[in-house]
């Protein structure tokens, strides 16, 4: 998961596509463009066979070169620019090319990427984009580095919301505890740990998960006041996250009610 700050100061968490996924999508695209290129050559060969005496050899070579450029440069650039970073291979594998700030690609980005597609993927036998993708944290190839783009995954597995209740022995403490200072990054890590609990809400069985819970609890305690009463680590984490969720929900409900009251007042005013 990569954090991106857009031009509007909005923080986005966009998962970068791996080198394997991007390589598979590129192979699908190249197969489609190669099939289109061979199909045009077959049609051109059938046409030139009937008019072999009237065709100039230089004109034939120019037509074949133009077809090559059309299929492997113009077509990828056009498809990527019109679809805002998509192609057939990326559509199948759920990948989209975006700018480094998370915005959609433009024509200039597609042109830079399209011009470098042939020397990268074909002339280097795929070694250059593979090497660049392995050395880059976002799996960028050389065309992405020059264009300022990278591939992101648009399909994410659905996760069930965490609906763990506040433990009974900590319910009184959560009513007076200050949990609003918990950082969002720490809260996300705690939520992921709690989601690994089974549906019955039993304590963590794995030793590795227990150590992770103890470490997260140690990071969480400085952000929570007053200190919690004696309880297990998992109960402490569950109480804080459940109360934090409940307070966010109540805050959202109050905001919606204020908006509804304001809307009713505005519609009740006489129009002049």
Q: How far apart are the first and last CA of the chain?
A: 53
Spell out the domain ranges in the chain: 2-153, 168-268
Q: Of 156, 154, 147, which is closest to residue 100 (Cα–Cα)? A: 147
- Both tokens of 144, joined, read 């992405």
Joined together, the tokens standing for residue 40 give: 């045009």
Q: What is the 3-state secondary structure (H, E, C) of 110-128?
A: HHHHHHHHHHHHHHCCCHH
Q: What is the mean pLDDT of the chain?
A: 81
Q: Evaluate whether 149 touches 81 at the Cβ level (below 8 Å).
A: no
Angle at the Cα of 155 from the Cα atoms of 135 and 3, rounded to 5 degrees:
50
Residue 197: how many CA atoms within 13 Å on its side-chain side? 22
- The count of other CB atoms within 10 Å of the CB of residue 209 is 15
pLDDT at residue 79 in the model = 93
- Give per-residue pLDDT as tens, 94-144: 899 998 887 889 999 999 998 888 888 777 887 888 888 888 888 888 889
Dihedral over alpha carbons 117, 121, 122, 123 (to 10 degrees): 90
Number of Cβ within 10 Å of residue 231's Cβ equals 15
**Cα–Cα nearest to 177, from 222, 231, 233, 240:** 240
Residue 99 contacts by C-beta under 8 Å, 6 or more apart in sequence? 105, 109, 148, 149
Report yes or no: 89 and 25 within 8 Å, Cβ to Cβ: yes
For strand 2-5 and strand 95-99, is the pairing parallel, antiparallel, or unpaired? unpaired
- Residue 23 CA to residue 89 CA, distance in Å, equals 10
Across 90-109, b (16+ Cβ under 10 Å) vs e yields beebebbbbbeebbebeeeb
Q: pLDDT grade, residue 28 (50/70/90)? A: very high
User: Per-residue pLDDT for 59 more than 80?
Assistant: no
- DSSP-based three-state secondary structure for 191: helix
pLDDT of residue 183: 85
Per-residue pLDDT at 203 = 46
CA-based angle 54:56:57, to the nearest 5?
Answer: 130
Nearest alpha-carbon partner for 239 in 182, 200, 198, 199: 182
What's the rounded Cα separation, in Å, for the pair 140 and 5?
18
pLDDT for residue 54 is more than 60 = no
Say how far apart CA 175 and CA 224 lie, in whole Å. Answer: 12
Its pTM surpasses 0.85? no
pLDDT in tens, 175-231: 888 887 888 888 888 888 887 765 444 444 567 778 888 888 888 888 888 888 888
- Position 267 scores a pLDDT of 76
Give the pair of three-digit tokens for residue 57.
């050899």
């Amino acid at each position: 998961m990569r954090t991106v700050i857009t031009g509007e100061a909005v923080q986005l968490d966009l998962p970068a596509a791996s080198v394997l996924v991007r390589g598979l999508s590129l192979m699908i695209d190249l197969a489609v463009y190669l099939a289109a290129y061979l199909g045009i050559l077959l049609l051109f060969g059938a046409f030139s066979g009937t008019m072999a005496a009237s065709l100039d050899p230089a004109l034939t070579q120019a037509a074949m070169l133009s077809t090559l450029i059309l299929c492997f440069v113009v077509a990828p650039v056009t498809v990527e620019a019109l679809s805002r970073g998509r192609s057939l291979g990326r559509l199948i594998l759920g990948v989209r090319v975006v700018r480094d700030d998370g915005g959609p690609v433009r024509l200039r980005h597609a042109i830079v990427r399209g011009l470098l597609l042939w020397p990268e993927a074909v002339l280097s036998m795929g070694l250059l984009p593979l090497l660049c993708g392995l050395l880059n944290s976002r799996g960028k190839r050389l065309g992405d580095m020059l264009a300022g783009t990278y591939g992101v995954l648009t399909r994410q597995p659905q996760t069930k919301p965490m609906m763990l209740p506040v433990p009974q022995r900590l319910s009184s403490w959560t009513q007076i505890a200050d949990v609003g200072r918990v950082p969002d990054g720490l809260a996300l890590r705690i939520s992921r740990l709690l989601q690994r609990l089974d549906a019955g809400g039993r304590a963590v069985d794995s030793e590795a998960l227990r150590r992770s819970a103890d470490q997260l609890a140690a990071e969480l305690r400085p952000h929570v006041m007053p200190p919690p009463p004696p309880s297990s680590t998992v109960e402490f984490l569950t109480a804080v996250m459940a109360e934090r969720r409940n307070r966010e929900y109540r805050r959202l409900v109050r905001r919606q009610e204020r908006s509804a009251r304001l809307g009713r007042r505005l519609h009740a005013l006489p129009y002049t």
